């Protein structure tokens, strides 16, 4: 994935989906099987308590407002992450917190809101916000938290996973922080910006938002990855199915993990963060730990199946 993106391109990928997400998502989510309302902001107290009693996982989708080519809306990252979390909660249980728009970095293109500098692996704004959200979710009785970022510059990914590891330890509940594409590496999606992967996901999740006819000829401004003209709703559906099934399995299992399992999970995730933070070298330091991403190919399956030792072993080869 790193090979395909310049650092600048990666950074700028933040987008969110709240504005579009709510209305479009409502109609579409109804087609997905369960019509259960899982969006926290649309639940009354009793419904939240019933949902939490059945499965005490809360999802936190992340994105930003960012240029995603002339063929995509600027909220891609957030609306995409939110829609995936909604489907996962409907399938596996739990509730979905409103998407957070704003993150680390973003493309140097119009209509992009950058809240932390692109390569800021420590983050002045996003990190404390995530920490406080986790504290509040735990205080409200949730026993597991899944933070899914649809925006994925390297620093954004590191900040999200690092905050999750630290809050898992501090709160003694599992907190997972990952970009959605890490759950579909074995489907050939290694992350991109407004290219085949993101555009295919949007063609499946929010088809009315994608207009490939606006693309013109390459090179496409502010697009990084496989040619978006190769995108299809069918590919988007395949990626969605894989990501959602793993998120649903995690939502079911995470609240039931004992402390020993929690320890193994945290240790594996912490080893990944340490590798991503320690790897810097060469011309594009913040992306150093992504150069050998194929060794993490089965990360999504390992995570959903609780094979944390396999994750740790793969991280050593990253």
Radius of gyration of the chain (CA): 18
Site for Zn ion in 36-55 (CB under 5 A): none
The set of residues, in sequence order, having a beta carbon less than 8 Å from that of 188 and lying 6+ positions away, is: none
CB of 231 vs Zn ion, minimal distance in Å? 13
Q: CB-wise, 152 or 308, nearer to Zn ion?
A: 152
User: Interface with Zn ion includes 85 (CB under 5 A)?
Assistant: no
> Which helix H or strand E contains 69, and what residues bound it?
none
CB of 17 vs Zn ion, minimal distance in Å? 10
Total number of residues that touch Zn ion (CB under 5 A): 4
Site for Zn ion in 118-177 (CB under 5 A): none
CA distance 203 to 200: 5
The residue nearest Zn ion at its CB is: 13
CB of 165 vs Zn ion, minimal distance in Å? 23
| Candidate ranges 28-36, 75-83, 204-212, 241-249; the one touching Zn ion (CB under 5 A) | 75-83
User: Interface with Zn ion includes 77 (CB under 5 A)?
Assistant: yes
List the one residue out of 148, 145, 149 whose CA is nearest residue 132.
145
Site for Zn ion in 183-202 (CB under 5 A): 198
Q: CB-wise, 77 or 162, nearer to Zn ion?
A: 77
- SS3 of 243, please? helix
Q: CB-wise, 13 or 121, nearer to Zn ion?
A: 13
Q: CB-wise, 56 or 156, nearer to Zn ion?
A: 156
CB of 147 vs Zn ion, minimal distance in Å? 16
CB of 194 vs Zn ion, minimal distance in Å? 6
> Cis peptide before 59, with omega less than 30 degrees from 0?
no
Q: CB-wise, 162 or 198, nearer to Zn ion?
A: 198
The answer to whether the Cα torsion of 294, 307, 281, 288 is positive or negative is: positive
Q: Are 49 and 57 in contact (CB under 8 A)?
A: no
Site for Zn ion in 11-30 (CB under 5 A): 13
Angle at CA of residue 111, ends 108 and 132, nearest 5°:
90
Strands (DSSP E) found in 93-245: 95-96, 100-101, 144-149, 175-179
Q: CB-wise, 19 or 274, nearer to Zn ion?
A: 19
CB of 143 vs Zn ion, minimal distance in Å? 30
- What are the DSSP calls for 188-219, one per residue? T----BSSHHHHHHHHHH-GGG--GGG--SSS
Q: CB-wise, 134 or 202, nearer to Zn ion?
A: 202
β pairing state of 57-63 and 144-149: parallel
CB of 268 vs Zn ion, minimal distance in Å? 26
Give the binding site for Zn ion (CB under 5 A).
13, 76-77, 198
């Amino acid at each position: 994935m790193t090979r395909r993106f310049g650092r600048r391109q990666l950074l700028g990928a933040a987008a969110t989906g709240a504005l579009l997400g709510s209305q479009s998502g409502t109609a579409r989510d109804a087609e997905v099987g369960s019509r259960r309302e899982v969006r926290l902001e649309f639940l009354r107290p009793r419904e939240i308590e019933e949902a939490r009693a059945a499965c005490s996982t809360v999802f936190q989708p992340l994105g930003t407002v960012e240029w995603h080519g002339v063929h995509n809306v600027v909220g891609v990252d957030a609306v995409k992450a939110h829609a995936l979390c909604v489907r996962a909660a409907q399938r596996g249980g739990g509730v979905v917190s409103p998407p957070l728009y704003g993150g680390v970095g973003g493309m140097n293109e119009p209509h992009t809101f950058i809240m932390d500098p692109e390569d800021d692996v420590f983050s002045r704004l996003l990190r404390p916000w995530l920490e406080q959200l986790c504290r509040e979710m735990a205080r409200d009785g949730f026993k597991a938290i899944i933070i899914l970022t649809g925006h994925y510059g390297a620093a954004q990914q590191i900040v999200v996973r690092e905050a999750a590891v630290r809050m898992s330890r501090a709160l003694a509940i599992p907190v997972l922080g990952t970009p959605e594409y890490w759950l579909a590496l074995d489907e050939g999606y290694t992350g991109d910006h407004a290219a085949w992967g993101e555009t295919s996901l949007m063609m499946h999740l929010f088809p009315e938002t994608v207009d490939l006819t606006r693309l013109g000829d390459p090179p496409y401004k502010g697009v990084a990855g496989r040619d978006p003209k190769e995108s299809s709703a069918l590919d988007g559906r395949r990626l969605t199915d894989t990501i959602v099934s793993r998120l649903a399995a995690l939502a079911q299992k995470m609240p039931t993990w004992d402390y020993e399992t929690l320890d193994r999970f945290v240790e594996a995730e912490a080893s990944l963060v340490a590798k991503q933070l320690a790897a810097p070298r060469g011309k594009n330091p913040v992306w150093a730990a992504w150069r050998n991403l194929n060794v993490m190919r089965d990360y999504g399956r390992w995570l959903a199946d609780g094979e944390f030792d396999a994750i740790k072993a793969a991280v050593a080869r990253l």
